[in-house]
């Protein structure tokens, strides 16, 4: 049986513990967060129905990604100030409708709201068509269209893309 992941967000810790106890024998992984700022992603809705999701949060939340050879050359000092968007899911009937782009833009806005200096992803490199099974990490043209720039190419198939979220410093006007 395929395991699913379920995220519960509630400011009452006892409720979160109860949910974990209730679901401990179910075939799903249960994640909990006591504040929305701890949530691990964003949901996209169409007509009050969830059609997409993306993971997003500070790099420090993604230990597995940080151990990956893809992120090996990163500046570890930035891990708490740089957010990561490691994956997306869009329902089949909602694909090619701008959902992934909206999720990526939403992740950037959320990261900025929480004081992140930058947000990164490691999508598939190049612009050739990919199967949906491959594209769960995103594709380079999408990230580029959302204002991300390539900062490294750790392999022929992956590119690290980054969008600076710090507001440009204003330059003093000349008199």
pLDDT digits (tens, 9 = 90+) for 125-170: 988 887 767 778 899 999 999 999 999 999 999 999 999 998 765 5
Half-sphere exposure of 36 (CA within 13 A, CB side): 6
Report pLDDT for 36: 60
**Residue ranges of the domains in the chain?**
1-39, 42-164
Report pLDDT for 76: 83
CB under 8 Å to 65, separation ≥6 — which residues? 59, 71, 84, 86, 122
Task: Check: CB of residue 103 under 8 Å from CB of residue 45.
Answer: no
Q: Is the pTM of this model over 0.95?
A: no
Range with lowest mean pLDDT among 6-15, 76-85, 104-113, 137-146: 6-15
Report pLDDT for 6: 67
SS3 51: strand
Interval 46-78: pLDDT, tens: 887 888 889 898 988 888 888 888 888 888 888
- Whether residue 87 is predicted with pLDDT greater than 60 in this model: the reply is yes
SS3 50: strand
DSSP 161: E
Report pLDDT for 31: 72
Report pLDDT for 50: 82
CATH architecture of 42-164: 3-Layer(aba) Sandwich (3.40)
Report pLDDT for 106: 92
What number is the average pLDDT over the span 83-95? 90
- Whether residue 1 is predicted with pLDDT greater than 50 in this model: the reply is no
């Amino acid at each position: 049986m395929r395991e699913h992941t379920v995220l519960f967000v509630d400011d009452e810790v006892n409720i979160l513990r109860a949910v974990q106890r209730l679901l401990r024998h179910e075939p799903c992984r249960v994640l909990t967060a006591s504040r929305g700022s701890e949530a691990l992603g964003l949901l996209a809705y169409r007509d009050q129905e969830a059609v997409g999701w993306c993971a997003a949060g500070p790099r420090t939340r993604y230990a597995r990604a940080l151990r990956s050879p893809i992120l090996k050359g990163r500046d570890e000092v930035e891990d708490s100030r740089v957010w990561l968007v490691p994956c997306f899911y869009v329902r089949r009937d909602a694909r090619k409708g701008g959902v992934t782009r909206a999720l990526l833009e939403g992740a950037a806005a959320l990261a900025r709201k929480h004081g992140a200096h930058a947000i990164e992803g490691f999508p598939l490199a190049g612009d050739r068509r990919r199967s949906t099974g491959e594209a769960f990490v995103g594709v380079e043209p999408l990230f580029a269209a959302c204002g991300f720039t390539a900062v490294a190419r750790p392999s022929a198939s992956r590119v690290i893309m980054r969008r600076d979220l710090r507001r440009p410093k204003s330059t003093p006007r000349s008199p």
